[in-house]
Structure 1
């Protein structure tokens, strides 16, 4: 038996069966007339739509924001030069005046204890004017010195349930060289004074720096776009017409992680309802705006979806014919039935089993022959992993004909023996179906900005249905559904 892929050719069977002839049985005991009959199709509601159960999946979107982006934002927004003039800043001088100019180099980014750390080398000059009080006299002082040091700090990141990024920025200055020489006296250390002044200037700039970081880490706009795009309705097969519809429902956010030392990493888990149907068209999408998020430590990438896989009727019939054709069925010690041919046809919601047979020439009905029409239901036996036709019974007209001609064929033992042989193993077919399912799922067109990776890991038969006069196995595909939302090239 072979399971065709979804885009395979579907064979629509004609519901109104052409005249099917039973040549009523002849025996040595009586002569019978030939009779033409038509099997009665059981009552059912014709439909071109089969709506499968809705499944719930989680699309895991790992987020990676390179630290280089944050480094770039800080370099663009931290002032290149700190200049100032301050008066009366030290007790060592009177009427003193301090003028300084400090230039920074490019900052470098690192990580520590899930914090973003940065350091900025600085250098410059400072000039001091004033007078030293030597009790008996005041000596004028005018000196210039070089300044060397580092501005350093750290940034911690947080986010609230309304998508607001909450960075906490700490900055301080450490000057390792800032001493003004005083001739014949010594030196005056102005490092502490300059550090305080530079820290004041930087802290005035902090609101602007934080605003730039919030803008750089603004996920809400990006996630809103992807959320809207995930309201999908895709026709993944035209013959038969099969649709997949996805409707996102909720969002979870994974805490920021800096453990790799190169990126701010996180993850967004979008819970979605996934509908699959065999239908000409699907109902309209129920659009839902981006909701508030929930924070969690880990985002799973659980993926579940019902997939309809068409069963090849030709392969089913080839299988049962090789197993049953030419075989005999014992109804009792006086009656042997030999199957010439057997054929399955799904009609409506039932399976029609056509059995072309003859009886053994030494049996009770010597040389009798004809065609039996049986109705049954399709069933998947999970324990044996077999597809079966069960609950066989005669077509009404076939039963009436047998009552008047060969009622011995109505014994339940014949139906049981036929039913036992209408069983098809699915082990190899499910392996092939897994590969087909992977190809099928790849047809789901996620937004182009998302580099998606969807892979079926496990697959099992959920149920078997008849739709559009064909047999479908509804497979529950279980796997990973992840994607990368890389903001590295974002402008």
Structure 2
């Protein structure tokens, strides 16, 4: 009788011992779908890009193109004229101040030597009379201005000439004053001066390198949030521009960018800026209010790492049983998201859950609809760890898989506003604007990433102040 009692006691002790030790769970992993490129439909965004170019900048650039001898024609045979023109002092460019006129006035101090041939060649004889004039004065020119193919195009007209010295003509090796003769002869070099000014201003005002340097800078992905490792990437498609407008001492070019905006979670993404793929289009008006449609792309690897933080220090208990999540892995399988949880404690092993990610707009949170153990995991839990298979712990796990993104959206708005308050990514470039609340649109799953679509209304202005 004592032996039977001892045996029963030993059996009970072994049962208790076996229940208090960990069980090893071997489950079949639902293999992820084959990886493929992320394909999604992005809705374009529009950003205002006003460019302010001071006339002083155009003046400086024009002076850099015109120095010393600015025109030379040594062939008298083609049109009976030889001409050399020198710039004597820096050119001045200012607003012409004509009412309702988009014109600039250019003041050019110059001197010129002109050889003018009158006569003919007949019967082998040169019956020419060549006159040489010397001019020293200040030329005033007015130019109509418009924008064409990234450059300012001018139509210049010489409207005045004030002499510093009386014009002279070489007679028998001496310079003789001939003011009464030279004034009617201004037409000889008028067209040359006008053309030279037009060419210099066009060369000085090629805005394309400046605009594209700005675009390349702002299209370089920059970190929005260090904790969530989020990066904003802008991919321009087209540039819109209206006609140039002259106001006070500046030219205003109202431009806008049609682009895709993406938020990438994880490592810094590569830039997608390609100047060769950006088209310039002329439009009548650029809207000031913009819609930014942002695509937030998070790889499953990065999402796994972020969700792991939600489980840090969390224990899931049922009576005396308890488990801790050591690692989290997420991937895509047949339209669902699979969540693999590595457990230690009363049960060692990996359990697999699957569900559909959803967004609750009212609570601003992500949750998983129909989240449940995958079939193989559920069957094995029912046989070896029924306490874990029960709905109570599953609900607790679901709560950790449900997380509010309201702080993320608020932090994202706060961070974005920092870049809309006179942010200067490079010299002479300033970003300003305002934004409304961030609106979460929808979630889509690809085979290697979670894709969230976000809409932001507001104003974004990237001002280029100056022309270097």
Partner of 1:109: 94
Query: Offset at 1:455?
Result: 7.2
Cα distance, 1:402–1:456 mapped onto 2, change above 3 Å? same
Greater gyration radius:
1
| Pairing partner for 1:169 from 148, 153, 156 | 156
What is the distance in 1 between the residues matched to 2:283 and 2:58? 23
Q: Give the CA deviation at 1:415.
A: 5.8
Asked whether 1:306 is paired with 2:295, we answer yes
DSSP 3-state at the match of 1:44: coil
**Pair 1:317-2:311 in alignment:** yes
CA distance in 2, matches of 1:254, 1:342: 62
Q: Which of 256, 259, 277 is matched with 2:244 structurally?
A: 256
Of 197, 207, 211, the match for 2:195: 207
Distance 1:108 1:422 in 2: 66
Question: Structure 2: how far apart are the matches of 1:233 and 1:105?
Answer: 39
Moved more, 279-288 or 385-394: 279-288
User: What is the TM-score of this pair, normalised by structure 2?
Assistant: 0.54
State how far apart, in whole Å, the 2-side matches of 1:436 and 1:468 are. Answer: 30
**Cα offsets for 1:278-318 (capped at 9, x unmatched):** 57986987662564532333365665443457664355236
CA distance in 2, matches of 1:276, 1:421: 24
CA gap 1:211/1:394 in 2 versus in 1, 3 angstroms? closer
2:382 is the alignment partner of 1:434: no
1-side partners of 2:352 and 2:431: how far apart?
Answer: 47
Aligned residue for 2:55?
Answer: 67
Cα deviation digits, residues 121-150 of structure 1 (max 9, x gap): 99xxxxxxxxxxxxxxxxxxxxxxxxxxx9
Q: Is the 8 A contact 2:232 2:263 kept in 1?
A: yes
For 2:30 and 2:107, locate their aligned partners in 1 and report how far apart those are by CA, in whole Å: 83
Change (3 A) 1:382 1:293: same
Instruction: Give 2:361's aligned residue.
Output: 382
SS of the residue 1:157 aligns to: strand
Residue number among 443, 448, 451 corresponding to 2:429 in the alignment:
451
The size of the alignment, in residue pairs, is: 368
Paired position in structure 2 for 1:346: 329
Within-5 A mapping of 1:329-408: 343=325, 345-349=328-332, 350-352=338-340, 373=351, 375-377=353-355, 378-401=357-380
Please state how far the C-alpha of 1:257 moved relative to its aligned partner.
1.8
Give the deviation of 1:266 after TM superposition. Answer: 0.8
Q: Is the 8 A contact 2:63 2:90 kept in 1?
A: no
**Could you tell me how far apart the structure 1 residues matched to 2:397 and 2:226 are?**
36
Paired with 1:286 and 1:414, the residues of 2 have a C-alpha distance of 51
* Equivalent residues of 2:260, 2:294 under 8 A apart: no
The whole-number CA distance in structure 2 between the counterparts of 1:76 and 1:271 is 34
CA contact (8 A) 1:374 1:394 kept: yes
Relative distance call for 1:434 and 1:238 in structure 2 (3 A) is closer
Conserved? CA contact 2:420–2:460, under 8 Å = no
The two structures, once aligned, show a CA RMSD in angstroms of 6.2
Query: CA, structure 1 residues 193+440, in 2 after alignment: closer, same or farther (shift >3 Å)?
Result: closer
Aligned positions of 1:419-430 closer than 5 A: 419=398, 423-430=402-409
Please give the alpha-carbon distance, in whole angstroms, between the structure 1 residues aligned to 2:383 and 2:102.
Answer: 90
By how many angstroms is 1:345 displaced?
Answer: 3.0
| Residues 183-202 of structure 1 mapped to structure 2, 5 A cutoff | 202=190
Task: Name the residue aligned to 2:27.
Answer: 39
Deviation at 1:263, TM superposition (A): 0.5
Q: Which has the higher contact order (CA 8 A, sep 6+)?
A: 1
Change (3 A) 1:465 1:338: farther
**For 1:205, what is the secondary structure of its paired residue?**
helix
Q: 1:425-450 deviations in whole A, cap 9, x for unaligned?
A: 332332223345678999x997x577
SS of the residue aligned with 2:363? coil
C-alpha distance in 2 between matches for 1:286 and 1:56: 17
Q: Give the deviation of 1:465 after TM superposition.
A: 7.8
| Corresponding residue SS for 1:399 | helix
C-alpha distance 410-105 of structure 1, shift in aligned 2 (>3 A): closer
Deviation at 1:256, TM superposition (A): 1.3
* Structure 1: gaps spanning 5 or more residues: 1-25, 80-102, 123-149, 176-191, 329-336, 359-368
Contact 1:63–1:484 (CA<8 Å) still a contact in 2?
yes
Structure with greater helix share of residues: 2
1:210 Cα shift?
Answer: 2.2
**How many Å apart are 1:482 and its aligned residue?**
4.4
- Judge conservation of contact 2:219–2:271 (CA < 8 Å) in 1: no
